[in-house]
Chain A
């Protein structure tokens, strides 16, 4: 046989073999895929990558207890929303997923998630859940899940620094915050006594909302129209306070617009500030000697109130939701409801997951009976005052801007509010811009 014919033979054979291999590969892959879809007794569960080991062990217990398989997958919080939206749109197998209350209207309107009202085994837990949590999972009268975790924005202070400045009690109004900060600054204890992390990230809304609600303000009225630009609604007053704090009193660093929540936390833990707005669950690392220079000194006070305001703050929560795909198939919906109950309700008679989530990583829970659990009490009191937490949680309000256009609106806010904080526009102009954008989006989505 000549070299040329060997070459021809080899090429032909190669083509035949590679074509056959590709075909077999494709068939195999599609076969595997169809098995994944067709498998009975399997629930596809997607979460963000928090408490991964805890979730895995709780899933393992569920599988052992029920014989139902769970395909657990996770993605980082930073791109979780994009990730899960892509899955919904692409029709990827997905039954139960963690959902932020901020996305509920958007997901519900798109028909990606479905209500759980028809599942009595899930709805019975509402009696033991914080009302604020149930409200946050409810959209247009339908409930979409069970609580995964809840938290609120807290006002923290470094007790020893406060005493050093000769101040015996923490501030109870925003005017007192200004006064105390100026005193602390004058004493040379801190250049910028109050830490605010106002970088363009999802936390920004919660920081500002806490201040707005404590000024008795709202972003929207009962009909859902923008009320934030009204000088009497508290939002302008709250933003004006921040603008003055940065530009007039200089008690908040101008770097606040580039400070993310985590960076701000580290700065506070380093002892650079005396007061901070931080999510309540950060109390634990703040008082952990391994993570904080001011461990043992951090206390929580009720959110200071504005003129005519109260000690309200903003609360938020995450929940276990059911996909439209799962709800469309009664058998799959039953399996999914069991997994939702296992995580968000009682597992073998206990609120195991929420309890472990709290004791392991300090994440707040949304079910009242856990406040009576001795382990929980002991864990809380090791680094915080459980009574203060209960009191502030009782004053937490559901965010009034959670709508299908919330994400888009937030993009405008970040720019508008930061521009005001930098002194390049007034607080009124910033809120006017936010309000106009809100109404435009509402119109666009209606």
Chain B
């Protein structure tokens, strides 16, 4: 290409974008560069890393292994066990969040004295930082000095202090409980907002037709809440699948393998074993599954909205 034609292309490009557009692009450029550096680049770099046997403790031997890391992860029994635990945790958490948030939204949708105070109280768990939330529940569940044992003992429900997080059968439900406590307020607000948008005419018409409160709830409220529910289901499912903080703070994956979920395994593989190759592969598998699940939920709920 001649210099003349290069100049012509450059001139055409300049003509195509006016001064305002060019200035705007120039101003956005620094922020976009930073975003590209700290967000886009790591995403693609971790994909690249997932094709190498990259172990920080063996920095001089980093062979390209194609899809071996993915195959290794998918053929690991421990990984599938952690998938099972992740599914259990997600089902427990999301169903509890949906039900409790609906009940709270129904309560807050009514007009009664003290509604604002209750609304504020309901929001408190959401406002507490995640780490503080984790430490709070660690203290509550502690088998030696925890508040849960103290309360149950005073109520006469137990005769001596009980082991909570150290009991493998209880660990996952207890962590799910702490997660639900933190997540319910946001879910309740989302459902409440949807509830507020239901036209009052529908309820008036239903009353005229002789529908009782339960029938109005089943035939008007619930169907109208689908958009809000969809949002809650997608958001909370993604949060639960990827959740790590409480597992780290409360049990560190234990006791034994009782709370070994996928997010925890990714952390161990990447930051404890320093195996960035398999850690990245696991992260991509988790991301793909999360996206697929979100798509499935949208399809399932979305077509009925």
Contact = CB atoms under 8 A, between A and B. Distances in A.
A200 B260 CA distance: 12
Contacts of B273: 407-408, 411
Contacts of A416: 256
A215 to B, nearest CB: 23
B49 interface: no
Nearest to A416: B256
A424 B272 contact: no
A191 interface: yes
Contacts of A200: 252-255
B257 A415 contact: yes
Contacts of B160: 191
Interface in B42-69: 56-60
Nearest to B167: A254
A158 to B, nearest CB: 17
A411 B163 contact: no
B260 A422 contact: no
A201 interface: yes
B168 interface: yes
Contacts of A106: 57
Contacts of B168: 419, 422, 424
**Residues of A in contact with B, size category:** 35 or more
B254 A404 contact: no
Contacts of B150: none
A11 B254 contact: no
A383 B274 CA distance: 41
A404 B253 CA distance: 23
Contacts of B163: 253-255, 258
Interface in A74-117: 82, 85, 89, 106, 109-111
B166 interface: yes
30 contacts: A85-B274, A89-B56, A110-B57, A110-B59, A111-B59, A191-B160, A199-B254, A200-B252, A201-B252, A253-B143, A253-B163, A257-B166, A258-B143, A258-B255, A263-B144, A272-B144, A404-B58, A407-B272, A408-B272, A408-B275, A411-B268, A411-B272, A414-B254, A415-B256, A415-B257, A418-B254, A418-B256, A421-B255, A422-B168, A424-B256
Interface string A415-436: 1101101101000000000000
A258 B254 contact: yes
Interface string B249-287: 001111111001000000010011111000000000000
Interface of B: 19, 23, 26, 56-60, 143-144, 160, 163, 165-168, 251-257, 260, 268, 271-275
Contacts of A256: 166
Residues of B contacting A: mostly: loop
Contacts of B274: 82, 85, 407
Contacts of A267: 144
B166 A258 contact: yes
A15 interface: yes
Contact of A418 (B23, B56, B255, B275): B255
Nearest to A198: B255
Contact of A110 (B58, B165, B251, B275): B58
Contacts of A85: 56-57, 274
Contacts of B58: 109-110, 404, 445
A89 B253 contact: no
A215 B281 CA distance: 42
A199 B171 CA distance: 14
A422 B167 CA distance: 8
B12 to A, nearest CB: 23
Nearest to A255: B143
Contacts of B268: 411
Contacts of A82: 271, 274
Contacts of B165: 258
B166 A255 contact: yes
B205 to A, nearest CB: 57
